[in-house]
Amino acid sequence: MTESDKKINITENDKPKIGIYVCHCGVNIGGVVSVPDLVEYAKTLTDVTVGHDYKFLCSDVGQKMIKEDIEAGLINRVVVAACSPRMHEPTFRITCKEAGLNQFLFEMANIREHSTWVHMKEPEGAYEVAKDLIRLAIAKARELEPLTVQKVNVEPTSLIIGAGITGMNAALNLSSAGYKVYLVERSATIGGHMAQLDKTFPTMDCSSCILTPKMSEISRDKNIELLTYSEVTEVTGYVGNFEVTIKKKPHYVDQEKCNGCGICVDPCPITVANEFDLGLSTRKAIYVPFPQAIPSQYTIDMDSCVECGICARETVCEPGAIKYDDKPEYFTVKVGTIIVATGYDEYDPSELKQYGYGKYPNVITGLQMERLLSSFGPVLGKPVKPSDLKDPHSIAFLQCVGSRNFREGGNKYCSRVCCMYATKQARQYKEKHPDADIYIFYMDIRAFGKGYEEFYESAGRDYGINYVRGRIAEVRENPLNHNIIIRAEDTLLQQPIELEVELFILSTGIEPRADSDSITNLLRIQKSADGFFLEAHPKLRPVDTLTEGIFIAGVSQGPKDIPDSVAQAKGAAASAIALMAKGEVEIEPFFAVVHSDRCSGCGMCIENCAYGALELVDDRRFGTIASINKALCKGCGACSGNCRCSAIDIIGFSSEQLYSMITKRE
Amino acid sequence: MSDNVEKYIKRKVYKSTNSRIAQKFVDAGLEKLRACINCGTCTGGCPSGRRTAYRTRSVLRRALTGDESVLEDIGIWFCSTCYTCYERCPRGIPVTDMIIKLRNIAVEEGHILDPHFVLANKVFYVTGHGVPANGEGNQKWRDLRESYGLPPLPPTVHMHPEAVKECQELMKSVGFRDLLDKIEKQKEKEKLEAEKAEANKIEDKKKEKEKK
Amino acid sequence: MSKNSKWKYGFFLGCVAPNRYPMIEASIRAVFDHLGAEILELEGASCCPAPGVFRAFHIPTWLVIAARNLTIAEELGIDVVTGCNGCYGTLRDAWVELNHEPELKKMINEHLAKIGREFKGSIEPKHVVQVLYQDLGIEYLRGFVKHKFKDLKVAVHYGCHIIKPSDKRPWGGEYEDPTFLDEIIEITGAKSINYKDKFQCCGAGGAVRTAVKEISADFSREKLENIRDAGADIIIDCCPFCHLQLDLGQMEANNFYKDIIGEPYKIPVIYVTQLLGLAFGIDPNLLGLMKNHDLQQVPPFISLEPFLEKVKNQLT
Ligand SMILES: Cc1cc2nc3c(=O)[nH]c(=O)nc-3n(C[C@H](O)[C@H](O)[C@H](O)COP(=O)(O)OP(=O)(O)OC[C@H]3O[C@@H](n4cnc5c(N)ncnc54)[C@H](O)[C@@H]3O)c2cc1C
Ligand code: SF4
Ligand code: SF4
Ligand code: SF4
Ligand code: SF4
């Protein structure tokens, strides 16, 4: 027994006394339907003893109203007709609990999302729907039974998937609070996209200068177990007690032995495009992604390697680290919380053929420009046009490439970083080439962050960058010199313009990872319509998911810049800490129960359970019957719905309760 | 009034989008245009805008803001319906279809160029072809057909007078005949008025001369 | 050729091909016959009606007349083929719209009922090039090639309405840079060359030519300039109206813009089936490639002689 039944004891014989409270939600509900009429209607239903309406029931005053009725013994069941239970079910449960009523004797009718919002334009229909929903909730409330919450221990360890700037920050925060972290990164180095950037807006600090120290901090941290070149392959369990299987991919170079001398690189005969430089440079089959990579040990890219054996020669690799028969390793860890920080992919503009990417050499993307500007990039920070490797005298940027595009193949959302990075890159180039002509073609400039508008203003005033309001319609190549001829409308002049530039940069946007479904399947979390991971509430629970114990942060949740990513990293870490610091969590007692007397032992439920929570056992009285492991059951109902003998019920959603909702007409 | 007032004071009143023509737009399904972000992709790639004063975006925006003068703007007849803008609009607005609907509204309001009117009224309605080969002036086209081993007239409406009737029946049924008649009357009236105005001018000039 | 062909189409002529450029009609008939694709006449068909003019005047008129034309083929139970981009645009757009909007279809059928017709939507309107590429297929065509052209540089002009609007066309949504017509042409050994703004409009459509010829001629001038710059021997097109604009319009451009173009343009313009037919070994007379010198003021206005001269030796 826990906190429930503190004052009021409800037994099966107690006649239900239902209190109905209908919320106006300002004008959200009250502006569409008559709330007092709804209360009057509800009061006519069987067992309803009290009915009230209020402007904002979730407020202190509103809650007090409910508490007083409970404490006065007027009611022993509470029904609130208001917003979504996702929003305020927890609030009112606490209200009940504080007044001494078992919190599961509460039921909510969502007459906002399910009625007055969707049927705003048909108030009469909305009223009928609201009435129905209230009648349903009351019918169920009548059948409610007091339940006890379960408590489970929480493993004080966290798993972080993705070691970009977001995952790294979250890891450091968790570690400094004393928790152990498994930081899983699938590429051969940590750092993510930030490692590819040169400088960062709006302060223009050099990306490496702020990133590299963090990277080495990670590698030194005793609480952080860094697992690069690794992937999560399986997650089972539940909040506080996740079992995670991790696959360490083979490096084909013994990571213990390799001392990072790099002597193997020159002799390797295989040269391929370097993905870190987005194809602007090459690397060998044996490589580290970039000089400051962490860890600094080498990896063989087996897709390209021809196993010629050169690198394995003693004269080449002195420590004898080359290991062609390296195998993947799998191992399992137990963690209490999980943070997803898998970041983003850059939008691929090849499909927008009107912009000539992949066809004309002097058309590049924003991330490629970032590599060209980088002092350790392929041209050591002196951007050139790919056609002849000379400095461009004129450059045009096109904003919103792949973003804010409602056509098929485009993303509807704003990518939130490209306005600023184009401005940054333009300024950087102007600093070195004051005579260059630079044009930024935009629809709107979004400079909303701290210091951003000032950064943008200075780009025009101090650097003479030309902002042209108009989205480029198409480009052509001048066959004589590979220059790019741009066609657009200067919408502020209402004139079509044609402009020839030497380098054309597509400010490509940010996209969800192409393989993000593997994460949603693994963790059973959701994606929003834009394809990024879905937060539990866009305002109030921005880093939580609907699966307890799993958090999201950084660009994997939606486009954002580094400051916002880091803020979310800290938010996710704090949420994970809050959960782990308590040492135990309450889980809702909504699992399946087997009515042993009805179960025929057919075993169908076992096939239907996706969580492996059911098994067949031998019972002394009933023979072979199904039995449930509460720790694994998620209360999804797949077993109950398919049981031919009606032998399984989900607590809180029992057949009786649901039948009465459907059938009870008054 | 001072001349300078006339010359320099240009007050512009921004009309609401609820004007009569804007309403016609909405009725024609043009409300999709409200999603336009005025990015200029349509104008920027328009092959007609490259050589004429026709501005795709501006024309649609004028219509949307209730500027009725757009219906008389000859520019709307310079769109070659190449569909380039239609394909590229980031808001998925079927731009070319919008221009076509705008032209429909213009015609309904009587704004149609003479050669277009003749083509509809005297050629298409009468023969069922937009470019016919029958009738007196077209002997050489029939000869040309024969020179390539084809019959002098194709097996189209040209060989089937009853088919021409069918087409005319349909055009009456959908209201095209009435529309053409309405425009014809209007055009005649305009012509008469123009002639009258011209005559008056000459008259006035004569009088002035006589005075002098 | 067999009259029980698996390929059978109702030939929608339109206006410009039969009544101004009959060599196009002749060459389509000759090539289809040669390939064993049967053509039936759509007796009593009218103007499609032209999308740029009549559609722009009065959409219901455009739709109901287009629907009537389609019903003629529906009575024969066969797909329609047309050699004209404009007709294709009208018939296909109308077909898609009527099939997707039941209300519209009902309304149009109420009008059609008055002349005893009904639009069902049972047959598909196709372009000659679509039939060649998708129904017959490149490999099938290749089997017919008898003569291969050497050193023949071709500027391919697609025109607009065969490609766009792409959501109502059969090319899988491709609209910026399709290649189906180039692929067909290159089986003859001719080389399709790249030229600036290859997919630009010829300028004839959309009622522009009727409104102000100088504007259409300026569209053509820009195209011709780019084509000449790229060093093309001939222009190949797949639409009689583009054909008219590039042939007759070439004369007009030479006239209106003589001050800015330097040398007058004289690039032969040839319809796709004329070129295919030659490669298949069909008599040039049947393909309408030989000019009738008795008639005055008739097309082709730009002489085909340089082209015929160039390929003469390759045809034996
Ligand atoms: C051209 C360009 C310029 C920019 N310039 C700036 C700037 O100047 N200032 C600024 O504030 N922001 C800038 N940004 C934005 C910045 O890149 C992001 O805000 C930041 O990198 C987000 O970090 P992240 O850790 O969330 O994601 P990422 O950097 O993408 O990191 C995610 C990590 O997760 C790993 N991962 C992915 N999937 C898995 C998996 N399944 N298992 C294991 N690991 C996985 C990846 O390998 C990667 O290391 C720029 C963006 C672009 C495109
Ligand atoms: S074995 Fe592979 S990695 Fe080593 S040198 Fe040869 S190709 Fe390069
Ligand atoms: S940040 Fe700027 S460039 Fe990027 S999508 Fe948003 S508006 Fe477009
Ligand atoms: S392309 Fe579309 S969104 Fe852009 S201005 Fe034209 S109609 Fe508006
Ligand atoms: S369809 Fe008309 S408005 Fe659009 S690009 Fe072509 S010519 Fe211009």
Among A296, A327, A358, residue at a domain's last position = A327
Contact flag B43-A471 (C-beta cutoff 8 Å): no
* Shared-domain flag, residues A55 and A141: yes
Domain at A631, CATH number: 3.30.70.20
Residue C123 shares a structural domain with residue C160: no
Three-class secondary structure of residue A614 per DSSP = strand
Q: What's the pLDDT score for residue A420?
A: 98
Average pLDDT over residues A254-281: 96
Distances (CA, A) of B57 to A415, A442, B49, B62, B98: 25, 16, 10, 9, 11
Q: Hey, are the CB atoms on A353 and C197 less than 8 Å from each other?
A: no
CATH number, domain containing residue A263: 3.30.70
Mutate to test the pocket of ligand 1, among A194, A294, A372, A570 (most ligand atoms within 8 A of CB): A194
Residue B7 lies in a domain: no
Indicate whether C43 and C152 sit together in one domain. no
pLDDT in the model for residue B15 = 59
- Other Cβ atoms within 10 Å of A317 Cβ, number: 23
**Is residue A521 in a domain?**
no
What CATH number has the domain bearing residue A92?
A: 3.40.50
B99 inside domain = yes
- For ligand 5, residues with CB inside 6 Å are B 42, 45-48, 56, 79-85, 95-96, 99
In this structure, the residue with its CA closest to atom 4 of ligand 5 is B85
Whether residues C115 and C196 share a domain: the answer is no
pLDDT of residue B31: 75
Residue C191 within any structural domain of the chain: yes
Query: Contact partners of A by the rule of 3+ C-beta pairs under 8 A?
Result: B, C
Query: Which whole number is the average pLDDT over A598-627?
Result: 90
Residue C201 belongs to some domain of the structure: yes
Residue C2 lies in a domain: no
Test C196 with A354 for CB contact under 8 angstroms: no
Whether residues B205 and B129 fall in one domain: yes
pLDDT at C66: 98
For A626, the domain range is 592-650
Looking at the CA of B39, name the nearest ligand: 4
* Minimal-distance CA residue to ligand 5 atom 6: B82
| Angle made by CA atoms A270, A272, A275, in degrees to the nearest 5 | 145
pLDDT digits (tens, 9 = 90+) for A85-94: 988 999 999 9
Q: For residue C240, what is the domain's CATH number?
A: 3.40.50.11810
Residues of C in contact with B173 (CB under 8 A): 64, 111, 114
Rounded average pLDDT over A75-104: 94
Within a domain: B198: yes
What is the C-alpha to C-alpha distance for residues A439 and A443, in angstroms, rounded to an integer? Answer: 13
Closest Cα in chain B, distance from residue A342 (Å): 29
* A4 has a pLDDT exceeding 70: no
Last residue of a domain, one of A294, A327, A360: A327
Instruction: Give Rg (Cα) of chain C.
Output: 19
CA–CA separation, C281 and A352 (whole Å)? 41
Domain-terminating residue out of C71, C99, C128: C128
Q: Kindly report the CA angle at C127 between C125 and C132, in degrees rounded to 5?
A: 120
Provide the CATH number for the domain around residue B89. Answer: 1.10.1060.10
| B47 CA distance to ligand 5 middle (Å) | 7
On whether both B181 and B118 belong to a single domain, the answer is: yes
Average pLDDT over residues C38-52: 97
Within-domain flag for B5: no
Q: Is residue B84 part of a domain?
A: yes
Examine the domain organization and report whether A494 and A356 are in the same domain: yes
Distance A320 CA to ligand 3 centre (A): 50
For residue A470, list chain B residues with Cβ-Cβ distance below 8 A: 39-41, 44
Per-residue pLDDT at B209 exceeds 90: no
DSSP state of B38: -
Chain B residues close to A490, C-beta within 8 Å? 40
- From B54, B87, B108, give the residue that closes a domain: B108
Please say if the pLDDT value at position A247 is more than 90: yes
Measured between beta carbons, the chain A residues lying within 8 angstroms of B85 are: 473
One domain, residues B206 and B192: yes
Q: Does one domain contain both C196 and C245?
A: yes
A491 touching B (Cβ < 8 Å) = yes
Co-location of B129 and B183 in the same domain:
yes
pLDDT digit string, tens, across residues C114-151: 999 999 999 999 999 999 999 999 999 999 999 999 99
| B chain contacts of residue A354, beta-carbon cutoff 8 Å | 45, 88
Determine, for residues C173 and A408 on separate chains, whether the beta-carbon distance falls below 8 Å: yes
Mean pLDDT of B193-211: 90
Q: Is C94 contained in some domain? A: yes
Q: Looking at ligand 4, which atom is closest to the CA of residue B40?
A: 5
Q: Is A490 touching B (CB cutoff 8 A)?
A: yes
List C-alpha distances in Å: A75 to A105, A316, B176: 10, 83, 73
pLDDT digits (tens, 9 = 90+) for A407-437: 988 999 999 999 999 999 999 999 999 999 9
Give chain B's domain count.
2
Determine, for residues C197 and A354 on separate chains, whether the beta-carbon distance falls below 8 Å.
Answer: no
pLDDT at residue C159 is higher than 70: yes
If one counts the domains in chain C, the total is 2
Residue B34 has pLDDT above 90, yes or no: no
Contacts of B12 (CB under 8 A, 6+ apart): none
User: How close is the nearest chain C Cα to the Cα of B34, in Å?
Assistant: 21
Mutate to test the interface with C, among B30, B80, B178 (most CBs of C within 10 A): B80
The verdict on a CB contact (< 8 Å) between A473 and B88 is: yes
- Residue whose CA is closest, atom 4 of ligand 3? A418
Does the residue B167 lie in any domain?
yes
Give yes or no: residues B132 and B82 share one domain: no
The stretch C235-249 carries a mean pLDDT of 98
- Determine, for residues A476 and C197 on separate chains, whether the beta-carbon distance falls below 8 Å: yes
Quote the ligand 2 centre to A269 CA distance (angstroms): 7
- Nearest Cα to Cα of residue B38 among B90, B86, B99, B96: B90
Whether A493 maps to a domain, the answer reads yes
Residue after which a domain boundary falls, among B89, B108, B127:
B108
Residue B25: pLDDT band with limits 50, 70, 90: confident
Question: Nearest residue CA, atom 2 of ligand 3?
Answer: A419
In angstroms, the separation between the Cα of residue B117 and the nearest Cα of chain C is 9
**Residue A162 is assigned to a structural domain of this protein:** yes
Can you give the CATH number for the domain in which C101 is found? Answer: 1.20.1050.140
Q: Which of A551, A582, A613 is the last residue of a domain?
A: A582
Beta-carbon separation of C65 and B170 below 8 A: yes
Q: Quick one: A125 and A177 in the same domain?
A: no
Mean pLDDT (chain B) is 92
User: With 80 as the cut, is the pLDDT of residue B75 above it?
Assistant: yes
Are A127 and A88 members of one domain? yes
Q: Does A42 map to a domain?
A: yes
Question: For chain A, first and last CA: distance in Å?
Answer: 37
Share of chain C above pLDDT 90, in %: 95
| Spatial contact of A489 and A497, defined as CB atoms under 8 Å apart | yes
Residue C135 inside a domain? The answer is no
User: Same domain, yes or no, for A52 and A142?
Assistant: yes
**Domain span holding position C51:** 8-128
pLDDT at C1 over 70: no
**A162 & A78 share domain:** no
Give the Cα separation of A70 and A99 in Å (integer): 6
Nearest to C142 by CA among C280, C272, C313: C280
Q: Where among B40, B74, B108 does a domain terminate?
A: B108
What's the mean pLDDT in A468-492?
A: 97
- Note whether A476 contacts B: Cβ–Cβ < 8 A: no
Q: Name the average pLDDT for chain A.
A: 94
Q: Which amino acid is at C113?
A: A
| C-alpha dihedral (A344, A348, A349, A352), degrees to nearest 10 | -110
Per-residue pLDDT, B9:
84
Structure confidence by residue, pLDDT tens digits, B110-119: 999 999 999 9
Q: What is the rounded average pLDDT of the residues A576-605?
A: 92
Give yes or no: residues C174 and C205 share one domain: yes
The answer, yes or no, to whether any atom of ligand 1 lies below 6 A from the CB of A561, is yes
Position A529 pLDDT exceeds 70: yes
Kindly indicate the confidence band of residue A127, based on its pLDDT and cuts at 50, 70 and 90.
very high
As to burial, measured by CB atoms within 10 angstroms (0-12 exposed, 13-18 middle, 19+ buried), residue C165 is buried
Q: How far is B5 from chain A (nearest CA, A)?
A: 26
In this prediction, residue A1 has a pLDDT band, given cuts at 50, 70 and 90, of very low
**Does one domain contain both B125 and B89?**
no
Q: pLDDT digits over A290-318, tens only?
A: 999 999 999 999 999 999 999 999 999 99
DSSP-derived 3-state class of residue B104: helix
- Counting from 1 in the atom list of ligand 5, the atom nearest the Cα of B45 is 5
3-state helix, strand, coil in chain B (%, to 5): 65, 0, 35
For residue A223, the domain's CATH number is 3.50.50.60
What confidence score (pLDDT) does residue A41 get? 97
Separation of CA A494 and ligand 3 centre (Å): 22
Whose alpha carbon is nearest atom 5 of ligand 2?
A268
Q: Which residues line ligand 4 (CB under 6 A)?
A: B 36-42, 57, 85, 89-91, 93, 95
> Over the stretch B92-112, which tens digit does the pLDDT of each residue have?
999 999 999 999 999 999 999
Residues A33 and A83 in one domain: yes
Q: How would residue A647 be classed by pLDDT, with cut points 50, 70 and 90?
A: very high
Shared domain for B24 and B54, answered yes or no, is yes
Statement to judge: residues C155 and C277 lie in one domain: yes
Task: Give me the residues paired with residue A335 across strands.
Answer: A242
State how far residue C173 is from chain A, nearest Cα, in angstroms: 10
Q: What is the pLDDT of residue B14?
A: 62
Q: Which domain holds residue B19?
A: 12-108
Inside any domain, residue A661: no
Domain count for chain A: 5
* pLDDT for the residue numbered B5: 86
Which of A353, A354, A476 is the closest to C196 by Cβ? A476
pLDDT at residue number B68: 84
Average pLDDT in the B32-58 region? 95
Percentage, residues of chain C above pLDDT 70: 99
- C 156-175: CB under 8 A from A: 173
Residues C287-307: tens digit of each pLDDT: 999 987 789 899 999 999 999
The pick from A310, A324, A326 for probing ligand 2's pocket by mutation, whose C-beta has the most ligand atoms within 8 angstroms, reads A310
Ligand number nearest CA of A301 is 2
pLDDT at A663: 87
The beta-carbon neighbor of C176 closest among A354, A408, A479 is A354
Q: pLDDT at position A5, please?
A: 45
Binary contact (B44, A471; C-beta < 8 A): yes
- Exposure string over A635-645, b if 16+ CB within 10 A, otherwise e: bbbbbbeebee
Set of chain C residues whose Cβ sits within 8 Å of the Cβ of A408: 173
Asked if the structure places residue A659 within a domain, the reply is: no
Residues in chain A within 8 Å Cβ distance of B44: 470-474, 487-489, 496-497
Q: How far apart are CA A112 and CA A87, in angstroms?
A: 11
